[in-house]
Structure 1
Amino acid sequence: MDIIFIQGLKTQAIIGIYDWEREKRQPLIFDIDMRLPIGDAAKSDAIKDTVDYKQVSDEIIQLVEASRFELLESLAEAICEHILKQHRAVTSVRLKVSKPQAVSETDTVGLIIERHSA
């Protein structure tokens, strides 16, 4: 299976369980691998036959900036669900989300999840 990826997508969100995290936006960084067959797109050279990574990036930024989740787990699940629902060619998504300001003693913390279409 082929992979279209987005690496280092940066946006900001209100996210976290602590009061200080609920008061102002903080940066989040996303790495996304979307598995799908690209054979049709390679033959046609047409964007309609693949996934537009700019469109996916814009959708994720909009989703994240509008969200108010407490947990990264909930946000990550919502993003994967959105991609699989809105971009039917995608058979699975691997999402890494980093929250660099969450723990001051680290470069970043976060999680990685992988979800598959039904």
Structure 2
Amino acid sequence: MADSVFIEGLVVETVVGVYDWEREVTQSLVIDLEMAWDNRVPGRSDDVADALDYATVSRRIGTCLKELRPKLLEHGAEVLAGVLQAEFGVIWLRLAIRKPGAVPGAKAVGVCIERGSR
């Protein structure tokens, strides 16, 4: 299956980082997500109940990362991928988490993972 649903540039404010000062403030994370999903059924029915609801997925991403308060982006990505696969039945996903302004001179730093199989 080559179909997918994606969310690009989702900003989540959360506590993230390993330094003491980072554990006391919120910072922005930027999420890009692509999920394998058979879009033929919602394409025919035009019914949101048949689709992977990206608004619901986006809210869940925010809730997960705000509750998790990860020290490492790698940990945030792994936990988030597991939650999305378990709760939404996503068999494959590509997830990038960026932390803007974390390194002087760089627009952002981050991680990208793929989990599951198409």
How many residues align? The count is: 116
Per the TM alignment, residue 105 of structure 1 is displaced from its structure 2 partner at its CA by 2.2
Matching residue of 1:3: 4
Q: Which runs of 4+ in 1 moved over 4 A?
A: none
The AA in structure 2 aligned to 1:62 is: T
After the TM superposition, which residues 82-101 of structure 1 pair with which residues of structure 2 at under 5 Å, given as runs? 82-88=83-89, 90-101=90-101
Using the alignment, how far apart are the partners of 2:51 and 2:116 within structure 1?
Answer: 18
After the TM superposition, which residues 2-81 of structure 1 pair with which residues of structure 2 at under 5 Å, given as runs? 2-81=3-82
Q: Secondary structure at the match of 2:70?
A: coil
What's the TM-score once normalised by structure 1's chain length?
0.92
Matching residue of 2:112: 112
* Structure 1 unaligned blocks of 5 or more: none
Contact kept, 8 Å, 1:14 with 1:26, in 2: the verdict is yes
Q: What is the aligned-residue identity percentage? A: 37
Per the TM alignment, residue 104 of structure 1 is displaced from its structure 2 partner at its CA by 2.2
Q: Secondary structure at the match of 1:85?
A: helix
* Structure 2 unaligned blocks of 5 or more: none
Per the TM alignment, residue 49 of structure 1 is displaced from its structure 2 partner at its CA by 1.3
RMSD of equivalent CA atoms: 1.2
Matching residue of 1:102: 102
